[in-house]
Amino acid sequence: MKIFEIVERFDLIYKLIKEERTGTASEFAKKLNISRSQLFNYLDHIKLYGLEVHYDSFKNSYVKTNDIEIEIRQPIKVLSKNELVSTEGGNRYISFF
């Protein structure tokens, strides 16, 4: 469950930054239900991917300052039995059941 929460949190962080509706650091952290220090850890991690972010007091939001876009995808997809059959590898898995 933890990995889904992390991916969803990064997705929400990026969405709020991109839409410029984060609020202050305290407000941003509250929206994410995390501490301010955790928020800064997430922001530091996002910056490792080249996204430049800073707080704009005029907009009262964290904003992107470069043209980098981040695409966040769920790392795991749960497949139904029907979906398994429709994929190439699914036939092998179904034969074991």
Residue 56 φ/ψ, nearest 5 degrees: -110, 110
* List of residues 6+ apart from 44 with CB closer than 8 A: none
What is the CATH class of 2-64? mainly alpha
Q: Using CA atoms in the order 34, 35, 41, 45, what is the torsion angle rounded to 10 degrees?
A: 20
Q: What is the pTM of this model?
A: 0.73
pLDDT digits (tens, 9 = 90+) for 44-67: 999 998 999 999 999 999 999 998
Mean pLDDT of 3-20: 91
Q: Do the beta carbons of residue 68 and residue 52 sit within 8 Å?
A: yes
Mean pLDDT of 68-89: 72
* List of residues 6+ apart from 9 with CB closer than 8 A: 32, 34, 42
Q: Is the pLDDT of residue 73 over 70?
A: yes
Q: What is the pLDDT of residue 87?
A: 61
